Each structure stands twice: as C-alpha cells, then as structure tokens.
A and B are shown apart, each in its own frame.
Chain A
Amino acid sequence: MKLFVFPRWANKTRQIFGVAFAGMPIYLTALVTFGFSPKTTDVGYQPKQPVPYSHALHAGEMGLDCKYCHNTVEQSSHAAIPPTQTCLNCHTLVHPESSKLLPIRESAATNLPVEWVKVHNLPDYVYFNHSAHVTRGVGCVSCHGRVDQMEEVYQDQPLSMSWCLDCHNQPEKNLRPPEEVTNMNWKPPGDAVAYGKALREQNNINPPTDCSTCHR
C-alpha cells in the first residue's frame, strides 16, 4: 500500500484554523444572540387568518368563556378549533351580512372547512395534551398569554422544551383551581408560590419530566 502524503495545500490548514479560532467568540456571540432571540423561538408569530376573528372582542369585551368554542379542551389532547357551526350559532343573527364573515358562510354553504392557520405549532415529535394541563389547573393564560386582549392571536410564550421543563419542575407558579383555568384575570390570593404549593399538594400534581412524557 502506498503511503499517504498530504498534498501541498494542506500546509495552509494552520492558518485557516487560526483564523477560525480567532473568529470563534464572534461566532458564539452571534449564535447565542440569534439562537435565543424571540424571533427564533417564534414568540410573536402572528400569521394572518382567513377571518379577522378578534379574541379581544369575543373573549375580552363580550366575555365569552374560552370553552364556549374550544370545548374539547378538558377531554382531548387538542383544544379543538370550533366547527363552522359554532360561529353560526350567533352569526346567523349577529352581522349575518358582514363581508368579513364571508369565508364562514362559504364554509357552511359548501361544507368545506375554513382554513385557519396554526399559531401554536409544536414540533411533530412532541405529544402535548391540553386535557392533562387544564384539568390539573394550568390556566390558558399561562401558555397563551392574554388572548382576551389580542386582536389577532400571536404566540406569547417560547414553547421551547426548556420552557416546558421550567414549569414541569416547578409547577407551583402556574397552578390555580381547575375551575379558574379560563379566567384571564385570575390572581392568586396572597403568595402565589405558597398558594400553588397548597394546590399542588391538594390535587396531587407531580408533573413527570421523563422523555416519554412528551416524546414517544
């Protein structure tokens, strides 16, 4: 077997590596800055929806309960987007002619779904279950922010794995009585952490942090 001889250009590797090492701090700084910026974690992601549905109006001003539309949230992994029929429960009487509601009426007439754009989009290998959180007393507001003040829904929290784990490790900060989960204005009486601890004790809440809790 012939001996392997490094080609002549290999002499330059030292210089190349030298430059690379010199640039390392800049690279790392950039990595951290961009990697952790809200833009990367999608905080603030606000896609345009086919119907300019205002949560601020419906859930905020008029005070509709979240579960009026997202009624599967306590039984299913999805807090399902309501069927067209739910919109029409009111909108056959309220603003039945509004041009903004055209896609809704079209959907009802053609029996084809309204194509809403997903805002809170978890990776496909994450199996999140709404019912497991809502029935334990994690409020909607904890993950979705003040939806009752959003004209158009945007992502409020990073929804990253470390963000999930923060709460799974210390759920006290985000616990409330299960009947208060949809109340956006709820404030813990007294010390939030102490109150959360008591609730945690009372409802036997021990969020697992095993991989298979969310990934399977």
Chain B
Amino acid sequence: MSGRIDAERILDVYLAPEADRLPDRVIEAALADIARTPQRRALRVPWRFPLMPALSRATTVAAVAVVAVVGAGALIYLNSTGPGGAGSQPTSAPTTAPTSAATVAPTAAPASQPTFDPTDPSAWATYTSAVYGFTMAYPSDWSVHSRAEHKWQPGEPVVDDAWPWADVFANREEVDGDSMGLWVFQIPAPEGADLDSWDGLQDVLQETCDEPTVNTCPSDDPPITLCLGEQDCQPAIIVLWDQEPTPTAAFGDPEAGTITLFSIGRPDDFPAAARYGGTVALLKAILSQLDVTEPKPGETPH
C-alpha cells in the first residue's frame, strides 16, 4: 500500500447527498398512525404539582371541617408560616396545614408551636428513602407526597402525575391551583462520568436530560458550585433548567456510581420558596442538612 487510506475522503463520497426521495406512502402511513396516536403531556421535571389526584374529595371536605373545628389555633400556625410571618391577618392564611395534616403523615409535628418557623432546620423532619437508602431532612411546612417504589431506570415511560422512581415532597400552599414539589432520586452515573468535578456533574445532567423521566436540560448558565463534606470538597452543583428557572441539585457518589438529584418545582414567587428567598435558596437550605454547602474561597473539589 502506498499510504494510509483516507477514510474521511472516502466517506465523503460514499455518503454524499443524492436525490433521496421518501415515498409518499411512508408519510401517509405515518400520518395515519399519528391520527390514532395521542400526544403525551408536556411533563418535564414537574413543577406543576396537581394535588387533587392524591387527595380524595372526601378527605378534602374533612380537612375543611378540621379547619372549622380547629379554628383560631390552626390559624395562628398558618399565619406564622406565611410570607407575612407571625401577626398576619387570619384572612390571608391558606388552608394548607390542615389539608396536609389530613392527608400525609410528616414525622415533624410543628403545628402545636405558635411561633413555628419553617425555615428553622431544627424543626425539620427527617426522611429515609426505602428505595435509595439516603436520609435527608425536609422543611416542616412540607410533607411526604409519595415514596419511591423502585429505582430510576433509563427509558422508563412517564405516567402522568406519578413518579414511582422518586421520593416526592410537597408543599401545599397553592397558587392558582398549583403547589410546589420536590423530587429526590438517584440515577446511575453514565459510563465514564466524571463525578469528581463540577463540570463532570454538569455533563452528566446534560447527557441525561432528555430521558423521559428527567426530560429537561440545564440552561447555558454556569452551575452554582457547591461542596459536599466538611473536609474534602466532593462536588455538588445546582443548575437551572432551560425552560423555567427551576433548580436541580446534583452530587455524585463515585464508589456507588450514582448521582443524587434534587429537583424542585415552581418558580421563586411561590410562598414555600419565597420565604427562603427563592427556590435556589430553599434547595441550598435542604442541601445544607446533608453537608452540602458553598465552597470556601478558592476551594475546588479534591
């Protein structure tokens, strides 16, 4: 042989554009299929959190009755949880706490405390995922909405309003019929993923973001960089998804080959986030209970 084969030039010719013509019958067959095919709902990491399917109407009626009976005591509690804090007028109080108490069983019991502060981590409830095994704390104005039933797996079809691969938490202060959710789950690290750097974590999120059960991608903004651990800095990041400014946090476990994700729904102006200063701040508060904090000046992973 006179030299190395120029594969690129050969492929330029071999794969060169020609007059490709798709037969009309193929398009017609596809359109016939489409006529019988419903579209899926635009369900990304879901910040829309329809609670009614999880609540029977009877339960809701019962919760309303509880409001009426409990009366002023509950309203004190509710006032103290709202954006106005203690001293707000009873008429501004949402009906969230009684509803929550009637439908879920949070392990914290702050309602009896008249000066309850949901941002105080000392009052937060702890939660251990039966599927993933992690333990975390969540704000005491939130509750467990649904528990993970199995581990996340690639390509799993999405069933609307059900997230069996995630432990899901809810804050039930509604705005226009929606409330906030927090989805916590783990995904296996893709082969070759770099879990020891912030960039590596972002690459992982970029690679997995079109999975049906993740299905939204980080924006082009640089991630918020964080460190897991007080001694060594194991990288953690918060990224904002590209469609709405809702954040997802991620940190990896190189030994287990997993990445834990915290996706929080709804923009900053929802009360459950506003009282922290926004969804990113709320997420940081939750992560801080797992020793995920801002890096020290000049600190980088390992």
**A and B interact physically:** no
